[in-house]
Amino acid sequence: MAKEPRPVEELSLWDDAQAMITKARAEGIDTVYERLQHQTPHCRICEQGLSCRNCTMGPCKITAKAPRGVCGADADVVVARNFGRFVAGGSAGHSDHGRDLIEVLEAIVTGETTDYKITDEPKLRRIAEEVGVTVAERDVKAVATDLLEVFFGDFGSRKKQISFLSRVPQKRKDIWKKLGMTPRGVDREIAEMMHRTHMGCDNDAPNTMIHAARTSLSDGWGGSMIGTELSDVIFGTPSPSMSEANLGVIKEDKVNILVHGHNPVVSEMILAAARDPQIIAEAKALGATGINVAGLCCTGNELLMRQGIPMAGNHLMTELAIITGAVEAVVVDYQCIMPSLVQISGCYHTRFIDTAQKARFTGAIHFDIHPSNALEQAREIVRLAVKAYSERDASRVDIPCEPVKIMTGFSNEAVISALGGTLDPLIQAIVAGDVRGAVGIVGCNNPKIKQDSMNVTLAKELIKKDILVLVTGCVTTAAGKAGLLVPEAIEMAGPGLKKVCGALGIPPVLHYGSCVDNARILQLCAALANALNVDISDLPVGASSPEWYSEKAAAIGLYAVASGIYTHLGHPPNILGSETVTNLAVSGLEDLVGASFVIEPDPVKAAELFDIRIKAKRKGLGLSE
Ligand code: XCC
Ligand code: SF4
């Protein structure tokens, strides 16, 4: 029997989303919300992480009646193995993305491509020096060649630890060493997780969890950090600028191209092609006033940070953006791209274009993009979009709102430069209690949760308490739409934060980039800890992913905890079937790594928990609460 559709007010915080869900329903188009209803109720056993299909003696379901799988694995082993593979999947996503940036750098130095270049040479030299490459009196190509070998090496099996552990406070490295948690090589840790979780291998849940943490650390301090740093080298290190967000950034009189996915390698070329005067002239010949490139999800974040492109939306806006009827093309790279976008594009004149061999979509137009052909292929893609403009059905266009202003571009380099060249003013503000602490709110939307309701409420509650908020990933657009990413948002902040951000002319919620850019937050925490000569777990900081859904978000959460950062999740991963694993996650890790997860579905209560934590950490540092 068909279920009653849920009222749109329950599905999203936003008018633009509600209007487009209503339009989709009127046009008979299913979205994530209908599909979720069809999938509900979910399998309870899978939700608890108690199903195993790691071999064909099974699949097995662990229940009270059948407490062991065919091989004898119990609930703890099955849950830990499933969680370990979940984290390995997320770490693989971020890190394979990082590897793609190394390959672009390689194509630059070998001359295989001229479409890309080294934009921030000083940064290249800086990070090369950090990881032990000789820099003095060597030309940029020689330095880059050595650097990319070091980074390729970080993915391999020949190192005792990955290079960017040079950034980690010694106390933290000692903890990792003692626990056997030091990440050695990115691919190695991921492969070893697959090995350990094969039947008959690592059958001790805490031991599996330790390796899950090591795997996630190889992502945070390895794959993701390399991805962020090389993206800055190749496309430029972000600095503050203004842009806009919500579906209103889609323009009725323009050819609209949405870039979606994660890696800036393709989307930067789409943007470059869309700025080509010749192609703009072709768009104008068809009656458009220009070509508009807007972002979705993290590839949007990457281009927003560096190029200031507007953000059409986050995860749960990706289908709804197409429903406006005004999108000529959706160009995707990889990750978080719902396959449903192909079908929804097919309901309109929208061209759905995939660009990566490792992320093909049945029914999409495929362009095989490599560093050597990227710009030429991007021009062809933009021309396809221009052509599609003439097929747009004006009677089906509905752009539901006006965009809101946002400020973006807060790399650590930009923050330090805004502070006058050092972190000292920030440390003084923390010591004085004007900035009581900082929390990174990161991650996704999940259709099980009213879109952005938790992301926004948590951010608002924290800034009221003089806690600085850093946002990345899909929380960016949430914070932006709520008016939190502009300097005027200091009016919503507590007195201390208002004073500090007001003096600097910055918002109390800072856009720190995409999800791989959470590595920037790790780096900032490490720098603060080193400056104070303490461990990261001593800092008055926290992390949160209120509306997370993905394997990558689990990897981020775990590397945050393993790095010593207290981390809130709005709902638990599929681990509740094991008391051992659950207890480890929400308390046992505290004894091991000085931080743990906290699960709290109420964002107001979550803010209070952060407040308590920050008070305790401030006290530990001898500071006023
Ligand atoms: Fe994906 Fe990065 Fe989550 Fe958004 S936040 S839904 S992972 S796009 Ni990373
Ligand atoms: Fe069942 Fe064990 Fe095979 Fe998993 S590994 S499917 S628990 S027999």
Measured from the Cα of 548, ligand 1's closest atom is 3
* Distance of CA 157 from the midpoint of ligand 1 (Å): 29
For residues 458 and 534, state if they share a domain: yes
For residues 587 and 448, state if they share a domain: yes
**In angstroms, rounded to a whole number, what is the distance separating the alpha carbons of residues 567 and 114?**
42
Nearest Cα to 239, choosing from 70, 438, 413?
A: 413
Instruction: Tell which of 235, 268, 303 closes a domain.
Output: 235
* Pair of tokens at residue 313: 């939306």
Answer whether 94 contacts ligand 1 (Cβ < 6 A). Answer: no
The whole-number pLDDT of residue 2 equals: 63
**In angstroms, rounded to a whole number, what is the distance separating the alpha carbons of residues 615 and 607?**
12
The number of folded domains in the chain is 3
For residues 379 and 429, state if they share a domain: no
User: Running DSSP on this structure, what letter comes out for residue 561?
Assistant: H
* Distance of CA 517 from the midpoint of ligand 1 (Å): 12
**In angstroms, rounded to a whole number, what is the distance separating the alpha carbons of residues 177 and 91?**
20
For residues 168 and 98, state if they share a domain: yes
Output the average pLDDT for the chain: 98
Nearest Cα to 612, choosing from 467, 453, 430, 469?
A: 467
pLDDT at 1 over 90: no
For residues 378 and 276, state if they share a domain: yes
The whole-number pLDDT of residue 92 equals: 98
Return the bridge partners of 402, or none. none
Nearest Cα to 335, choosing from 444, 439, 434?
A: 444
Residue 19 lies in a domain: no
Amino acid, single-letter form, for residue 43:
C
Nearest Cα to 154, choosing from 145, 165, 143, 144?
A: 165
**In angstroms, rounded to a whole number, what is the distance separating the alpha carbons of residues 552 and 98?**
13
Range 473-477 average pLDDT: 98
Measured from the Cα of 60, ligand 2's closest atom is 1
Contact 135, 122 (CB under 8 A): no
- Residue with the smallest CA separation from ligand 1 atom 2 is 298
Contact 312, 388 (CB under 8 A): no
Task: Count other C-beta atoms under 10 Å from residue 604's C-beta.
Answer: 12
* Distance of CA 198 from the midpoint of ligand 2 (Å): 9
* Distance of CA 201 from the midpoint of ligand 2 (Å): 12
For residues 211 and 291, state if they share a domain: no
* Distance of CA 574 from the midpoint of ligand 2 (Å): 17
Range 296-301 average pLDDT: 98
Ramachandran bin of 236, using left for φ above 0, alpha for ψ from -120 to 50, beta for the remaining angles: left
- Residue with the smallest CA separation from ligand 1 atom 3 is 444
The whole-number pLDDT of residue 38 equals: 96
Residue 403 lies in a domain: no
Instruction: Tell which of 396, 426, 443 closes a domain.
Output: 396
**In angstroms, rounded to a whole number, what is the distance separating the alpha carbons of residues 541 and 12?**
29
CA distances from 58 to 72, 80, 85, 398, 462 (A): 11, 17, 18, 51, 47
Residue 3 lies in a domain: no
Range 22-44 average pLDDT: 97
The Cα angle at residue 272 between residues 233 and 358, in degrees rounded to 5: 70
Nearest Cα to 16, choosing from 173, 238, 229, 249?
A: 249
**In angstroms, rounded to a whole number, what is the distance separating the alpha carbons of residues 595 and 588?**
9
Residue 279 lies in a domain: yes
pLDDT at 499 over 90: yes
Range 263-281 average pLDDT: 98
Measured from the Cα of 336, ligand 1's closest atom is 1
Residue 218 lies in a domain: yes
CATH code at position 179: 1.20.1270.30
For residues 257 and 226, state if they share a domain: no
**In angstroms, rounded to a whole number, what is the distance separating the alpha carbons of residues 147 and 236?**
17
Residue 70 lies in a domain: no
Which ligand has the nearest atom to the CA of 224? 1
**In angstroms, rounded to a whole number, what is the distance separating the alpha carbons of residues 232 and 119?**
8
pLDDT band at 503 (very low <50, low <70, confident <90, very high): very high
* Pair of tokens at residue 322: 């197409």
Q: Render pLDDT for 41-85 as a digit per residue (tens, 0 to 9).
A: 999 999 999 999 999 999 999 999 999 999 999 999 999 999 999
Boundaries of domain holding 391: 247-396
For residues 509 and 381, state if they share a domain: no
For residues 251 and 231, state if they share a domain: no
Which ligand has the nearest atom to the CA of 336? 1
* Pair of tokens at residue 79: 């849950």
Which ligand has the nearest atom to the CA of 198? 2
CA distances from 347 to 23, 302, 326 (A): 13, 29, 12
The whole-number pLDDT of residue 3 equals: 78
Q: Render pLDDT for 418-443 as a digit per residue (tens, 0 to 9).
A: 999 999 999 999 999 999 999 999 99
- Is the preceding peptide bond at 59 cis, omega within 30 degrees of 0? yes
Mapped onto helix, strand or coil, the DSSP state of residue 388 is helix
Instruction: Tell which of 396, 424, 447 closes a domain.
Output: 396
* Pair of tokens at residue 177: 């060493």
Q: Specify the residue for token string 């805004």.
A: 418
Ramachandran bin of 30, using left for φ above 0, alpha for ψ from -120 to 50, beta for the remaining angles: beta
pLDDT at 212 over 80: yes
Ligand 2 surroundings by CB, under 6 angstroms? 52-55, 57-60, 69-71, 73, 78, 199
Strands (E) located in 192-343 = 241-245, 255-260, 291-296, 311-313, 329-332
Q: Render pLDDT for 525-562 as a digit per residue (tens, 0 to 9).
A: 999 999 999 999 999 999 999 999 999 999 999 999 99
Nearest Cα to 317, choosing from 295, 339, 334?
A: 295
Percent with pLDDT over 70 in the chain: 100
pLDDT band at 287 (very low <50, low <70, confident <90, very high): very high
* Number of Cα atoms under 13 Å in the Cβ half of residue 393: 10
For residues 121 and 170, state if they share a domain: yes
The whole-number pLDDT of residue 326 equals: 98
Q: Long-range contacts of range 413-421, CB-CB < 8 Å, 24 or more positions apart?
A: 413/123, 413/232, 413/237, 413/239, 414/237, 414/238, 414/239, 414/240, 415/510, 415/524, 417/239, 418/240, 418/504, 418/506, 419/504
Binding site for [4Fe-4S] cluster: which residues? 43, 52, 55, 60, 71
- Helices 140-154 & 75-110 angle (0-180, nearest 10): 160
For residues 230 and 258, state if they share a domain: no
The whole-number pLDDT of residue 625 equals: 86
Residue 2 lies in a domain: no
Binding site for [Ni-4Fe-4S] cluster: which residues? 262, 298, 336, 444, 474, 515
Burial environment of residue 617 by CB neighbours within 10 A (0 to 12, 13 to 18, 19 or more): buried
User: Could you write out the DSSP letters of every residue in 520-531?
Assistant: HHHHHHHHHHHH
Contact 598, 572 (CB under 8 A): no
pLDDT band at 500 (very low <50, low <70, confident <90, very high): very high
- Residue with the smallest CA separation from ligand 1 atom 6 is 444
Q: Specify the residue for token string 């759905």.
A: 352
The whole-number pLDDT of residue 385 equals: 98
Q: Render pLDDT for 354-396 as a digit per residue (tens, 0 to 9).
A: 999 999 999 999 999 999 999 999 999 999 999 999 999 999 9
User: Could you write out the DSSP letters of every residue in 254-281?
Assistant: SEEEEEESS-HHHHHHHHHHHT-HHHHH
Using the Cα atoms of residue 607, residue 218, residue 145 and residue 262 in order, give the sign of their dihedral.
negative
Q: Render pLDDT for 137-180 as a digit per residue (tens, 0 to 9).
A: 999 999 999 999 999 999 999 999 999 999 999 999 999 999 99
Q: What are phi and psi of 309, to 5 degrees?
A: -65, 150
* Distance of CA 71 from the midpoint of ligand 1 (Å): 36
CATH code at position 585: 3.40.50.2030
Which ligand has the nearest atom to the CA of 550? 1
* Pair of tokens at residue 119: 């934009």
For residues 615 and 467, state if they share a domain: yes
Answer whether 205 contacts ligand 1 (Cβ < 6 A). Answer: no
* Pair of tokens at residue 468: 């600085």
Residue 116 lies in a domain: yes
